[in-house]
Homo-oligomer: A and B are copies of this chain.
Amino acid sequence: MMIIKEPKELQQELKRRRFEAAKQGRELTVGLVPTMGYLHEGHASLIRKARANDVVVLSIFVNPIQFGPNEDLDRYPRDAARDLALAEKECVDIVFMPEVQHMYPQPTKTKIQVEGLTSSLCGASRPGHFDGVTTVVAKLFHITKPDFAYFGMKDAQQVAVLSQMVADLNMDVQLVPCPIVRESDGMALSSRNVYLNEEQRSQALVLSASLKEAYELVQEQKSTTAAELKKLLTERIEAKPLAEIDYVEVLTFPELEPISEQTRLSDYEGDIIAALAVKFGSTRLIDNMLFQKKDVALHV
């Protein structure tokens, strides 16, 4: 496993490997798994998907420009040694692990903005967050030129925003959204779960539990409306004294547009997402459930 810190070095290394393969008549495919490190089983599931490619590149970079001034950049959990051990175990070929000065040798004057999709959900709570995400992911794409890039559906809005960017800018990469990975009790895996104390973690189970209940309700009662779904989720979460709701939304996916409160979920033709962001103490957790027409909903 190769560890690279310099963007130019990774760009050159992959160019060299592609050329060598082509000389032998093979088109090398590169799979990129962009992460902020502190890897867990969710990241591991992305890496395993990426193994369908000839070369798996795992990037580990806590991207400062996607954090707001009062967010958790400084205390975001890091453990390079453990991350590298996991990467090795999962057969990653190249770990790209730049420092901030490698990615931003000077403060970036260039930002990529996706309008509309970034104004709701986490975009509303975290102004500028998605500009930081799209900008760093575009950088990673330009450095790595992946054929496929793997993202977890826990950040469903991120998947929607990045898909729009890729389509709008004619980027030659295929995004692969991957299902949320959960603990056995339903808790969605997140590097930020480490912030929670025992009581907070116990109450935070309401996120996955209420989404599961919502999913089952829609399966059983075809007449369930968006408003009823939202009410159910809100009531369940509000019943937990440590929970402070940031948002509970039911939107179309991937457009992230509101649907009328009286719309029955079974009547709507496209996919619908129920998305939650809830604070426990100073820790903000997100989770979501996709209601897909083709019955491939990602079960809790």
Contact = CB atoms under 8 A, between A and B. Distances in A.
A237 interface: no
A11 B172 contact: yes
Given A145-B172, A169-B138, A110 B109 contact: no
Interface of A: 7, 11, 18-19, 22-23, 25, 27, 108-117, 134-135, 138-139, 142-143, 145, 164-165, 168-172
A110 B112 contact: yes
Contacts of A171: 142
Contact of A142 (B7, B19, B169): B169
A27 to B, nearest CB: 6
Contacts of A134: 110
Nearest to A105: B167
A109 B19 contact: no
B142 A110 contact: no
A25 B23 CA distance: 6
A143 to B, nearest CB: 5
Nearest to A12: B172
Nearest to A19: B22
Contact of A135 (B11, B139, B143, B169): B169
A147 to B, nearest CB: 11
A192 B22 CA distance: 45
